[in-house]
A and B are shown apart, each in its own frame.
Chain A
């Protein structure tokens, strides 16, 4: 046998299945100190939110909805950061050099990251709802009240959806900027600066008031928390989501697929 035959490349071996990539990406979210603490802080903040409601809210506000609003704040800030860091670490820490040589099909890597981030997000959301429920029961018992369950199943799903949308938006910004700081700043501008700007604009300009639900992704998500979404509200979620989520994600993914990994 000649030496050339010994080292020839085989192209009929099995490739890397998606499930394996997914488990690797999930592992990468927890195997650094930064990643682990981010996950722990989500859990801890959900508990702190519930305890704060019990400690500070008046009796009339001890309802499941109040607990939901309380844990919503840390989730809305931290879940996007989880998603952002899963993408940007490949560039910031330059691990992409290894990742993309082991898996040259970059799209597979991106979708496994999306799936891993969504799984982590769903687990965090369910955990927060459970902590909120426990808080509601304990809070009602301490104050001698009957627990008030003012979130129905439909709302549970639409509220969960809003957290996953926030996480996906973070992912899109991470893919677009490929830089942790820029993506986080981008997310805060989107989440905290734009609503104020759009609010002011809507207050003074009538033409914008009608347009706002169609283009403002934050605004279009508000009905998700109230439940009973109308067809028009879903359509508004769709058009604003196209602008704020689909376009940045597509641009980010195209950049990742074509750019040079250094």
Chain B
């Protein structure tokens, strides 16, 4: 069980983590979802004792990370797959961890096999590894001490779709055996594939949390019409709530109601389905566009051009 209570981390006036509380249960994969810079990594560094919190507390099984004896054998951590000495081989990195934890060297080969790094790949220096290979090595490093709890920051970053599914089955088996997993991602798709429980974080605050089923269950209907504004007007005058959603609309009504409404008004629908997941996606897109600085507004663009000229 990972327990985070009222955790806050400030850097001057900037609140990287703002009064965050959550718990990760054993037997489940908890996905920590948020745009880049939302506070996921900072929270994970605080849990593992690398960053001192400004306020609040984080414990694992009721204990502070630094009070866990030989922590690598109880908590597996991967915070940044690229944070390895470029001049060491993959095998050497695992060997150093095994030596530190006092494990037999056979664990190194077992882990290399588990993450499908071939003997020749394991003897290459990490600077010649792709990001996907570094992630596999990082996963191997986090699992080598046979821990019961895993903390993984962006572990699926750089993995191909087959790699993401491999990770899902790996973590699924791990959680089914009673393990606790906290993993982060800035991609909704990855979290949807891998996690059971989802925590959504934006600008340092937890904005939503629950099981995947709860969060993905969104009331209403997703619909696309040839004439979207006419459909929107018709639904609104019928007393229904209409929200924009991706390319189309989300209307708080059953699909059959919308179908009837469209037939009455003679409108052509191009897509009509229950709006599962659309709510989470809307929320996440909104969070992302609020926090991402590359969403250039016309005014900002004008000012930038003016500045250059």
Contact = CB atoms under 8 A, between A and B. Distances in A.
B79 A3 contact: no
Given A11-B68, A95-B83, A102 B101 contact: yes
B77 A14 contact: no
A235 to B, nearest CB: 40
Interface stretch (B86-94, B237-245, B250-258): B86-94
Interface residues on B, range: 35 or more
Nearest to A101: B77
B170 interface: no
Given A7-B179, A104-B66, A260-B51, A31 B74 contact: no
A189 interface: no
Nearest to B74: A9
B69 interface: yes
B163 to A, nearest CB: 21
Contacts of A13: 69-70, 73-74
Contact of A14 (B69, B72, B87): B69
A100 B50 contact: yes
Given A6-B148, A7-B148, A101 B99 contact: no
Nearest to B65: A104
Contacts of A34: 87
A16 B75 CA distance: 15
Contact of B100 (A10, A21, A31): A21
Contacts of A33: 87, 125
Nearest to A28: B96
Contact of A93 (B1, B49, B50, B86): B86
B102 interface: yes
A4 B28 CA distance: 11
A125 B303 CA distance: 64
Nearest to B149: A7
B60 interface: yes
A32 interface: yes
Interface string B1-37: 1000000000000000000000001110000000000
B305 to A, nearest CB: 36
A251 B288 CA distance: 41
A5 to B, nearest CB: 9
Contact of A15 (B49, B70, B125): B70
A262 B80 CA distance: 9
Contacts of B83: 93-98
Interface in A8-47: 8-16, 20-21, 23-24, 27-28, 31-35
Interface string A219-262: 00000000000000000000000000000000000000010111
A7 B149 CA distance: 7
Interface string B270-284: 000000000000000
A103 interface: yes
A23 B74 CA distance: 22
A261 B50 contact: yes
Nearest to B48: A101
Contacts of B67: 11
A23 B92 CA distance: 14
A89 interface: yes
Given A98-B97, A98-B141, A32 B88 contact: yes
A29 to B, nearest CB: 12
A201 to B, nearest CB: 41
Contacts of A9: 60-63, 68, 74-75, 149
Interface in A72-96: 89, 93-96
Nearest to B126: A93
Interface in B71-130: 71-75, 77, 79-80, 82-88, 92-93, 96-97, 99-102, 125
B85 A95 contact: yes
Interface of B: 1, 25-27, 45, 48-52, 60-63, 65-75, 77, 79-80, 82-88, 92-93, 96-97, 99-102, 125, 141, 148-149, 178-180
Interface of A: 3-4, 6-16, 20-21, 23-24, 27-28, 31-35, 89, 93-98, 100-105, 258, 260-262
25 contacts: A3-B27, A3-B178, A7-B1, A7-B178, A7-B179, A9-B63, A10-B69, A13-B69, A13-B73, A14-B70, A20-B99, A23-B99, A28-B96, A31-B92, A32-B85, A32-B87, A93-B84, A97-B83, A98-B93, A101-B79, A102-B97, A102-B100, A103-B100, A104-B68, A261-B45
* 7 closest cross-chain pairs (CB), A and B: A9-B61, A94-B83, A32-B87, A104-B66, A6-B178, A7-B148, A261-B50
Given A3-B25, A97-B83, 12 more contacts: A4-B1, A7-B148, A9-B62, A9-B63, A10-B74, A16-B101, A24-B99, A31-B88, A98-B93, A100-B49, A102-B101, A258-B52
